[in-house]
Structure 1
Amino acid sequence: MPTLRLLHRWAGGLVGLFLAVLGLSGALLVHKDDFLRATLPHAADPQVQDAASIAAAAEKIFAGPDAPRSIILASERMGLHRLNYGDANRGAYADQSGEIVASWTSKWERPEVWLFDLHHHLLTGDAGELAAGIMALVGLGFVVTGVILWWPARRLFALRAWPANMSRNAVVRQHRDLGVVTAPLLFVSMLTGVMMTLPAVEDLLLAPFTSPAAMSAAVKPPSEKGGPLAADLDVDALLASARARYPDGELRIISLPAKPGGLISLRLRQQGEWLPNGRTMFWFDPADGRLVASRDAQAMPLGLRIANAEYPIHAAKVGGLPYRLVMSVSGLTLALLGSLAVWTFWAGPKIQKRKRRAPVAKAA
């Protein structure tokens, strides 16, 4: 037990601040759509899912002088289309008629964009995403070891949102008791984060349900090559084709080919899918709009269907406002536990030492 306690304390002192950043940024991102609805025109507009209206807006956007690579269509909670240009630093929002309402050429121009990059990549690209995944894996270790270390002191349990004072003992007690109460939330948050960022861990955990080879084969795009993009492509016909297959499906993302020979892709969310943008896919030849292939997300192997639930659980895209508040508590708790762990590790012993060395008043 002393070795486990020492390992827990040292690891917390070294990586606690990173976990605090991930927790705080995650808690804020849960409410991103609410922020956009309050700050951007038309962001609170009701969602339009009429295929003809969506097609008209998409054709208008794609026909512009600076056509995006893809359009994430407006959702129930976000009344604007999100335009992506294939460059992480560029993007735009358009209303559901196709008019641009905001655009940016640097992630620093939009708070929700750089906050997303901070949470997912620690502002350092792919290396940062790997580091964030490793930090989350360490965080899982904290949850498990923290519960083990709490057990011998369980009779002293006293839940506090903030330490009774800033002495090391008071902070450690608050850290221990608050941590054990929120352990299930922290475990879910970090487990889903690990699975999304560390493919090897995800494959290992999902292997009992579906082999990694089977999952990889199930998500491969069609191998057929497409022709050149037609100048008069009928987007309405593409959307109508998908809607005919799934009348109750929600049209979510329209993507143009990334390179010559590529296909147009369309993502649709069926009613039973938790993933906000769905994983039901259609691919069309850009030359004539011919349907090349389609994929039903609900017919995917079990391992992939579990994987498709990771993001909506992690980002509180299911469960409505109550679950968003629950995940906010998880993020804020992680921020508090991580930052106080660093503070007590580096500053706490010095404060305790100064208190012990306080001069004793001499007798008169």
Structure 2
Amino acid sequence: MRTLDLLHRWAGGLIGLLLALLGLTGTILVHRDAWVMLPGAGEALVTDAAQVGPVAAGLLADPAGRPQSIIFADDGFGLHRLRMGGGAGAYADQSGHIVSRWDSEWARPELWLADLHKHLLAGDVGETIGGIAALIGLFFIISGIILWWKLRFTFSFRLWPARLSRPAIIRQHRDFGVVMAPLLFLSCLTAVMLTLPPVTNLLLSPVISPAERKAAMAVPAVKGGALAPGLDWAAMLAEARSRFPDAQFRVLTLPRRPGELISLRLRRPVEWLPNGRTMVWFQPETGAMVGSRDAATLPLGARIFNLAYPLHTAKVGGLAFRLVMSVSGLALVLLGTLAVWSFWFRRPPPQRAPAGRKRKPTP
């Protein structure tokens, strides 16, 4: 038990601030649709393919300024987001009018905050570091419950320590942490699933193998040609709508490398994932549909994995669940910062023998 306590305290002292940073940025991002205030952001969603198609065609018409992808407006955010190369992008309202444009993600706080939360501004390496931190967070939760159990009879819930002394901080940390444990476990587990594929494969192994999940998410084995300049985007979206009448258009992505297809992500009502995993693929040279995938028919393991992102980002459950996950994020901020503070800065001074008193010799 003493070894577990040492591991818990040392790990908290070393990465507590990193977990606090992830908790703070995650809490802010949970509500980002509410604080990105631009003209048209609050407009009702247009779902008619006959209206969305011409707007998409207009946004894709100029080869020089053509976006790599369009993330369509949804029920919570009424603007289309255009992704260009090199971090550039734009927001367009649902009539196709550009309301904001940027040359770098640093110009939009919601974008660089998302990059900070997911990648720590360090690309794939930062994402892996964040995933490892979340995995250590799971260790904190499990070891913290074990360490709390022997002292459960002294439980006293406090949002803030009674004093900023090391014993008071440790007691508040222990009792507050055990109350927040279920929410923190959900946050850390879903973060691990989204960032550490080997751990995800291990967790899902009882229901699906990595090869089966990869096969279920595979792109059609069709080679695409050069992107034609005058594709009938309205007809393509209408065909996708006829294939999935109840689905929302979510992400239209153009080929980035030779041989790739045009892909359209859709979200059916049964899906929690905000951008869906229902897919339609088109030939770039003709616009003909060459394949589709219904997310409702995916294997169980793939459908379980698709729950991780909406649960982690509170994209389900409305405002109530966003507030719940905000509590989780703020709890991580409090626990992480106080853990570092008590470990490195609030250690009690070493005990010294009173002057004039001789210590007894050690036998």
Same fold (TM over 0.5): yes
Residue 24 of structure 1 and its aligned partner are, at CA, apart by 0.6
- Equivalent in the alignment of 2:274: 276
Alignment partners' CA distance in 2, 1:228 and 1:114? 33
Would you say 1:7 and 2:15 are equivalent positions?
no
Q: Deviations over 1:266-314 (max 9, x none)?
A: 1111110000011010101121111111111111111110011100000
Alignment partners' CA distance in 2, 1:86 and 1:306? 32
- Equivalent in the alignment of 1:353: 349
Please tell me the residue identity of whatever aligns with 2:329. Answer: G
Residue 259 of structure 1 and its aligned partner are, at CA, apart by 2.1
Would you say 1:293 and 2:253 are equivalent positions?
no
Q: Deviations over 1:58-100 (max 9, x none)?
A: 111111341101101000000000111243x222111111111
- Equivalent in the alignment of 2:96: 98
- Equivalent in the alignment of 1:20: 20
Unaligned runs of at least 5 residues, structure 1: none
SS state at 1:182 partner:
helix
How many residue pairs were aligned?
Answer: 354
Please tell me the residue identity of whatever aligns with 1:13. Answer: G
- Equivalent in the alignment of 2:174: 176
Alignment partners' CA distance in 2, 1:102 and 1:176? 46
2:303 to 305, 313, 328: 305
Residue 335 of structure 1 and its aligned partner are, at CA, apart by 0.8
Residue pair 1:56, 1:97 contacting (<8 A) in 2 also: no
Residue 126 of structure 1 and its aligned partner are, at CA, apart by 0.8
Residue pair 1:18, 1:135 contacting (<8 A) in 2 also: yes
Please tell me the residue identity of whatever aligns with 2:227. Answer: L
Would you say 1:79 and 2:98 are equivalent positions?
no
TM-score by length of 2: 0.95
- Equivalent in the alignment of 2:47: 49
Alignment partners' CA distance in 2, 1:243 and 1:223? 23
List aligned pairs for 1:136-155, cutoff 5 A.
136-155=134-153
Unaligned runs of at least 5 residues, structure 2: 356-363
SS state at 2:24 partner:
helix
Alignment partners' CA distance in 2, 1:111 and 1:132? 20
Runs of 4+ in 1 over 4 A off after TM superposition: none
Residue 227 of structure 1 and its aligned partner are, at CA, apart by 2.3
Residue pair 1:255, 1:266 contacting (<8 A) in 2 also: yes
Residue 320 of structure 1 and its aligned partner are, at CA, apart by 0.5
SS state at 1:317 partner:
coil
SS state at 1:342 partner:
helix
- Equivalent in the alignment of 1:68: 67
List aligned pairs for 1:319-334, cutoff 5 A.
319-334=317-332
Q: Deviations over 1:89-125 (max 9, x none)?
A: 2221111111111122222211111110111011111
TM-score by length of 1: 0.95
Please tell me the residue identity of whatever aligns with 2:143. Answer: T
Please tell me the residue identity of whatever aligns with 1:22. Answer: L
